[in-house]
Amino acid sequence: MKKINLFIFLFILGFSLANAQEKESNKDIPEAQVFTSTQTVRVNGTTHSLKTRAGTMLLRDENNEPIALHGFTAYFKEDGPSKRPIIFSYNGGPGSSSYWLHMGVMGPKRIVVNDPGYTPAAPYELVNNDHSILDMADVVMMDPIGTGLSKPVGKAEGKDFWGVDQDIRAISLFIMQFLKEYDRLQSPKYLLGESYGTMRNAGVMKYLLDKGYALNGVVMVSSVFDIRSLAFPVQESTSYLVHFPSYAATAWYHDKIANKNPDLEVFVDEVRTFTEEEYLPALFKGGRLSDSEKGAIASKMQQYTGISSEIWKRNNLRMRANEFFNELLREEGMTVGRLDSRFKGINPMPQNQYSITDPQSDAISPAYTAGFLDYFHRDLGVSKDLTYKTSAYASPGFKWDWSHKGNEGWGSMISINTAIDMADAMNKDPNLKVLMMNGYYDLATVFYGVEHTVDQMNLRPEIRDNIIMTYYEAGHMFYTHMPSLIKFKKDLADFIKDTTHD
């Protein structure tokens, strides 16, 4: 009997010690904070009241251990369970917060910029977003760990979140836990990512589906899935090929083409044909290409870009994007934008081979940054004691791990491709549709690169038909361009209508 009592005593003592240790460790974990407000948005003459939450949610791992405070801003039409569509949205980087999409197109307010010129300094104009999707869907703007208010807690560290697979896991955990926390498991579910956010989307859509969370649709804004399309690796032609139609579109915009076709889409389609049928075979032949053949291709490239055939021949029919930025308007002492090549700015070193600045980024960044922070703290009521990080690049130890499950053994960052994840998800769920939005003047994630990646996904025709391509006469953040913003809303609204059901 005494042995039994001793056993019970030791058990209770052990339980009490473990409970005390858990309470002690939890003292180091800061509490999540959520600031509530009511916002409004007026769309098509109707004013919608939005219950808004901005702050953090405690993120837990698969063993229910706290790993992060995850920042977000959520706009709900109503509280509690709802079958209204919900969109989880983020930017890219990797290492960028979501404030670009938030203040450009997704939120109830938007920042007015002088597209495609330089926006003057403050005061900046913050207006009702007439083209918001909030009239038909709720929106959750997400800030990955290290950005916004998001940060690791407990035993977790930045490296647990800063990588292709680590990021996919953390974003997916947040979405699953958020849906449960706010009673939205029965809502039609969407992802909307921009830039690296599309590479993330491809992984998240597979991760969620494998965990039993089917999506109604995924929206890719300015997409990239295969890093080879952007990296210009040595002895690899893909990047040069997929950039050429965007070079030509940029030259078309800046009137560098003699007797140009007035229809941009027709012109771009002609350049696609040249790229596939003439430029690609020429690059494939490499050193076997004769001087006369090289001269003929270079002449065509001058015809489509306005850049001298002699320069193309000297460059062996190749030009990296950061060379093109400087080359196109070199004689004018100007450079064109990477994010949006409609923008042009002063080239302080026109003798340089490579550009040293991005006019589009220079032109709009101050307005977005100051305008958002003012809105975040003043309108949404988030405490000014909290620091919102627009990016993770200044975070101690920030370094991105480019390895990705499924890409093992491929060698390096330039081999990373999450299109395999997207294909897997689409094959497992033949109802899943993907909307890809592409800017003709985007030289950061080129439209022809996306088309090439999709062509290589080896999808059955009926699954390939679930990918919808739309195009805009602007750049990476094409929503700064009013006609493209209007088209964005229509295309997104049509997509949501097509992918929801009663």
Q: Summarize pLDDT for 84-115 with one digit per residue, the tens.
A: 999 999 999 999 999 999 999 999 999 999 99
Answer for the pair 362, 117: CB distance below 8 angstroms, yes or no.
no
Radius of gyration of the CA atoms of the chain, in A: 25
Q: Which residues does residue 90 pair with via DSSP β-bridges, in sequence order? A: 193
Checking DSSP bridges between strand 126-128 and strand 151-152, what pairing results, if any?
unpaired
User: Which amino acid makes up residue 51?
Assistant: K
Cβ proximity of 359 and 343 under 8 Å: yes
Considering the domain architecture, whether residues 111 and 147 belong to the same structural domain is answered as: yes
Three-state secondary-structure class, residue 438:
strand
Question: What CATH number is associated with residue 466?
Answer: 3.40.50.1820
Average pLDDT over every residue of 138-157: 97
22 pLDDT more than 80: no
Say if residue 57 is in the same domain as residue 177. Answer: yes
For 462-488, how does the pLDDT look when each residue is reduced to its tens digit (9 = 90+)?
999 999 999 999 999 999 999 999 999
pLDDT band, very low/low/confident/very high, at 345 (cuts 50, 70, 90): very high
Q: Which of these three, 342, 360, 378, is where a domain ends?
A: 360
Mean pLDDT, all residues of the chain: 93
Higher-pLDDT residue of 81 and 410 is: 81
* Partners of residue 59 on adjacent β-strands: 68
The least confident of 323-327, 360-364, 394-398 is: 394-398
In-domain check, residue 124: yes
Contact status, residue 343 vs residue 439, Cβ threshold 8 Å = no
Please tell me what DSSP assigns to residue 148.
B
Examine residue 26 and state whether it is found in any structural domain, yes or no: no
Strand 46-60, strand 34-43: pairing: antiparallel
Place of tokens 């080239």: 347
Residue 111 within any structural domain of the chain:
yes
C-alpha to C-alpha distance for 74 and 500, rounded to whole angstroms: 21
Domain range for 401: 34-228+365-499
Alpha helices in 134-263 (DSSP H): 164-181, 196-210, 228-231, 238-253
* Residues in a beta bridge with 57: 70
pLDDT at 67: 98
Q: Are residues 137 and 122 in the same domain?
A: yes
Question: Quick check: is 114 in a domain?
Answer: yes
Give me the pLDDT at residue 9, please.
53
Q: What does the pLDDT read at residue 27? A: 57
Highest mean pLDDT among 3-12, 24-33, 347-356, 409-418: 347-356
SS3 106: helix
Same domain, yes or no: 274 and 200:
no
Confidence check: pLDDT of 23 > 90:
no
In a domain, 2, yes or no: no
Number of independent structural domains in the chain: 2
Nearest to 341 by CA among 249, 411, 205, 279: 249
Residues 355 and 370 in one domain: no
Question: With pLDDT > 70 as the criterion, what percentage of the chain qualifies?
Answer: 93
pLDDT digits (tens, 9 = 90+) for 375-411: 999 999 999 999 999 999 988 899 999 999 887 655 4
Instruction: Find the mean pLDDT for residues 58-68.
Output: 97
Domain boundary among the residues 360, 382, 401 is at 360
Instruction: List the one residue out of 362, 368, 479, 343 whose CA is nearest residue 124.
Output: 368
Residue 16 belongs to a domain: no
390 and 297 inside one domain: no
Which amino acid is present at 428?
K
In terms of domains, do 195 and 248 share one? Answer: no
pLDDT reading at 20 higher than 70? no
Residue 413 has pLDDT above 80, yes or no: no
* 57/163 same-domain check: yes
Domain end: 298, 325, 360, which one?
360
260 & 377 share domain: no
- Structure confidence at residue 351 (pLDDT): 87
pLDDT band at 414 (very low <50, low <70, confident <90, very high): low
Q: Which helix (H) or strand (E) holds 269?
A: helix 264-274
The residues that bridge with 60 in the sheet, in sequence order, are: 66
Contacts of residue 23, Cβ cutoff 8 Å, sequence gap at least 6? none
Q: Is 112 contained in some domain?
A: yes
Task: Give 433's strand partners.
Answer: 217
Residue 331 burial (C-beta neighbours within 10 Å; 0-12, 13-18, 19+): exposed
363 pLDDT above the threshold of 50: yes
Count CB neighbours of 348 within 10 A: 10
pLDDT band at 312 (very low <50, low <70, confident <90, very high): very high
Whether residues 310 and 346 share a domain: the answer is yes
Q: What is the pLDDT of residue 164?
A: 96
> Per mean pLDDT, which range of 124-128, 145-149, 238-242, 407-411 is the poorest?
407-411
Residues 399 and 431 in one domain: yes
The whole-angstrom separation of Cα 283 and Cα 499 is: 42
How far apart (Å, rounded) are the C-alpha atoms in residues 250 and 214?
Answer: 39
361 pLDDT above the threshold of 70: yes
Per-residue b/e over 359-376, b at no fewer than 16 CB within 10 Å? bbbebbebbbbebbbebb
Query: How far is Cα 341 from Cα 259, in angstroms, rounded to an integer?
Result: 21
* pLDDT exceeds cutoff 50 at 24: no
Q: Are residues 208 and 124 in the same domain?
A: yes
- Quick: pLDDT tens for 208-246: 999 999 999 999 999 999 998 998 988 889 999 999 999
- CA 351 to chain CA mean position, Å: 33
Alpha-carbon distance 193 to 200, whole Å?
A: 8
Measured at the CA of 250, the angle between CA 247 and CA 256, to 5 degrees, comes to 100
* 415 found inside a domain: yes
Query: CB–CB of 383/35 below 8 Å?
Result: yes
Q: Identify the burial level of 264 via C-beta atoms within 10 angstroms of its C-beta, where 0-12 means exposed, 13-18 middle and 19 or more buried.
A: middle
Pull the structure tokens for residue 121. 């300094």
- Predicted confidence band of residue 14 (pLDDT cuts 50, 70, 90): low
Nearest CA among 437, 431, 438 for reference residue 500: 431
